[in-house]
Amino acid sequence: MNKRFYITTAIDYVNGLPHLGHAYEKVVADVIARSRRSLGQEVFFLTGTDEHGQKVQQAAVAMGKSPQTYCDELAAVWQQLAVTLGLSNDDFIRTTQDRHKKLVQAILAKLHRQGDFYKAQYTGYYSTKEETFLTEKDRRPDGTFDPSYGEVVELVEENYYFRLGAHQQWLIDYLEANPSFVYPENRRNEVLGFLKNNQLEDLCISRPAARLSWGIPLPFDPQFVTYVWFDALSNYVTAPASHGDPGALAGFDAVDGVDLTPGNLALWPADAHVIGKDILKFHAVYWPIMLKAAGLPLPRQVVVHGWWQKDNHKMSKTTGNVVDPVAVINEWGLDAFRFYVVRELDLGPDGNWTDAGFASRYQSELANGLGNLVNRSLSMLKRYREGKVPAVAHDLAAEVGLAVVELRQRWLANQLQGGLESIWKIVNRANQYIDQTAPFKLAKDPAQAQRLDEVLYCLVETCRILAVCLQPYLPGTATRIFQQLNLPGTPDRLEQAQWGRLLPGHVVGEPSPLFPRRDAPPKK
């Protein structure tokens, strides 16, 4: 049983509808998952929803629904988003599922037994919106708290705390010794800076059930429910453990009612947790310490993406300044959306969505660049050779080969945007090659028949290889190119990108535009 490349996304809160930011993260993770499959690795891709806690409880109350009914309705919307985005996820975890709740309780029981928790009384400030306790340090010079905390109330309450302090130096050493643990590097420096300059405070891992009932009861004290972040982070191991992954099951004890019989999936440790920059501390500080306490190895990498704005402003429901991914996909097609978000924004920095930028990339890179190349290549082969592939020629073989090598390296280095740049080197070179060789002129001169054969071979072979390279990014388009080439199977293995595999004598199918030209500006 080989260990799979195990990749996860953040699990989304179901207190609202999905927007561009959520969709972007899922597409990024999907491109990584598909590119690893293309490289021949076995992959397991997990995504899901985070359904407990105050935010969700409040949203349910506002709708006059029970939290469970509310979550069931919203989870269906989020599950549908995964389908709409064409995600190749192997599982979708909901934190209200029994498989998750039972295993979170098992982790809690184990840590409690080990003495990792203690109960203490807290007197201080609490932000309901952020579900977090605040200290004097969080006050602004004028004594108020940042408005992002929402209403801040004074609280006196008992809770359970997780001893983190003992692990601080260990975590610093781990981050120093494993430079690739957090990607990109500036985010790793951020975590290290935080850990070196602050004394880690113990983490409050409970909330009194009397104040917040929508959570997983602590197995050792049902007066309390689990803090939503402890519950949510655990999903990365509860899902594999529910499939019998021996790596994840190593963190559980049979005494807690967990069936430790191994299955035939090997997943843990995760290879990549794809998350947004706002939840870095949870993934690079709390999560590693939770895992260490549970006796589990750490994930190989936390991959941190930036945040999208729209027209240089924060996306906000109140101002209506939100990009709805489903509306964009309905209007422009799924692959146009997937292309724009990965092409426009490198993995790491923040990005800015503009409708004009979207339309412009669609027109120049997809319609005029890729679409036109495939359409012209196939149409000329049809017109001049009745669709029959001529003898193998090699004009573009070396350049295409180099771009494919570069693409492979970029995939392995999380350079998804760079990967598209490598692919567009091929697109642009092939379009330039048409201009330079002018096959429409060659076709008029019978003495140039062999040269025309060579050019046509190089063009259709380039289209075939492009389908293979594009598949992780634009799976639908890649399949359509293969169909138009009348090739069997799917272009989902990079090894198929080897030059010369398109056999002479093969007859291609009908070309049809991959990205219809759009002259009208996109609707607002």
Would you tell me which residues interact with ligand MSP (CB under 6 A)? 10-13, 21-22, 24-25, 50, 232-233, 235, 275-276, 278-279, 307-308, 315
Report the distance separating Cα 422 and Cα 408, nearest Å. 10
| Alpha-helix runs per DSSP H in 265-333 | 280-281, 287-294, 325-332
- Looking at the Cβ atoms of 314 and 517, the one nearer to ligand MSP is 314
Task: Please report how close the Cβ of residue 334 comes to ligand MSP at its closest, in angstroms.
Answer: 19
- Looking at the Cβ atoms of 184 and 476, the one nearer to ligand MSP is 184
- Looking at the Cβ atoms of 65 and 281, the one nearer to ligand MSP is 281
Report the distance separating Cα 239 and Cα 453, nearest Å. 54
Q: Which of 260, 259, 256 is nearest to 246 (CA)?
A: 260
3-state secondary structure of 383: helix
- Looking at the Cβ atoms of 345 and 455, the one nearer to ligand MSP is 345
- Looking at the Cβ atoms of 343 and 376, the one nearer to ligand MSP is 343
Q: Which residue has the tokens 């975890």?
A: 93
Which residue's CB comes closest to ligand MSP?
Answer: 276
- Looking at the Cβ atoms of 11 and 32, the one nearer to ligand MSP is 11
User: What's at 391, amino acid-wise?
Assistant: A
Task: Please report how close the Cβ of residue 322 comes to ligand MSP at its closest, in angstroms.
Answer: 9
Q: Which of 261, 271, 378, 212 is nearest to 46 (CA)?
A: 271
Task: Please report how close the Cβ of residue 310 comes to ligand MSP at its closest, in angstroms.
Answer: 9
- The answer to whether the beta carbons of residues 63 and 307 sit under 8 Å apart is no
Task: Please report how close the Cβ of residue 212 comes to ligand MSP at its closest, in angstroms.
Answer: 16
Task: Please report how close the Cβ of residue 243 comes to ligand MSP at its closest, in angstroms.
Answer: 18
Q: Render 58-105 in DSSP notation, one character per residue.
A: HHHHHTT--HHHHHHHHHHHHHHHHHHTT---SEEEETTSHHHHHHHH
Report the distance separating Cα 473 and Cα 76, nearest Å. 25
Number of H helices, E strands in the chain: 20, 16
3-state secondary structure of 388: strand
Other C-beta atoms lying within 10 Å of the C-beta of residue 437: 19
The sheet that has 217-218: what strands, in order across it? Answer: 206-208, 221-226, 217-218
- Looking at the Cβ atoms of 24 and 224, the one nearer to ligand MSP is 24
- Looking at the Cβ atoms of 18 and 369, the one nearer to ligand MSP is 18
Q: Which residue has the tokens 């004097």?
A: 136
Task: Please report how close the Cβ of residue 323 comes to ligand MSP at its closest, in angstroms.
Answer: 9
Residue 190 token pair: 């951020």
User: What's at 88, amino acid-wise?
Assistant: S
Task: Please report how close the Cβ of residue 371 comes to ligand MSP at its closest, in angstroms.
Answer: 28
- Looking at the Cβ atoms of 53 and 491, the one nearer to ligand MSP is 53
Task: Please report how close the Cβ of residue 53 comes to ligand MSP at its closest, in angstroms.
Answer: 8
Task: Please report how close the Cβ of residue 49 comes to ligand MSP at its closest, in angstroms.
Answer: 8
- Looking at the Cβ atoms of 97 and 235, the one nearer to ligand MSP is 235
Task: Please report how close the Cβ of residue 306 comes to ligand MSP at its closest, in angstroms.
Answer: 7
C-alpha 331 chain-centroid distance: 23
Cα pseudo-dihedral 177, 190, 14, 36, rounded to 10:
-40
The residues pairing with 308 across neighbouring beta strands, listed in sequence order, are: 351
List the end-to-end C-alpha distance of the chain, in Å, as a whole number.
51
- Looking at the Cβ atoms of 21 and 86, the one nearer to ligand MSP is 21
Q: Which residue has the tokens 């146009």?
A: 336
Task: Please report how close the Cβ of residue 222 comes to ligand MSP at its closest, in angstroms.
Answer: 24
Report the distance separating Cα 249 and Cα 227, nearest Å. 22
- The answer to whether the beta carbons of residues 483 and 467 sit under 8 Å apart is no
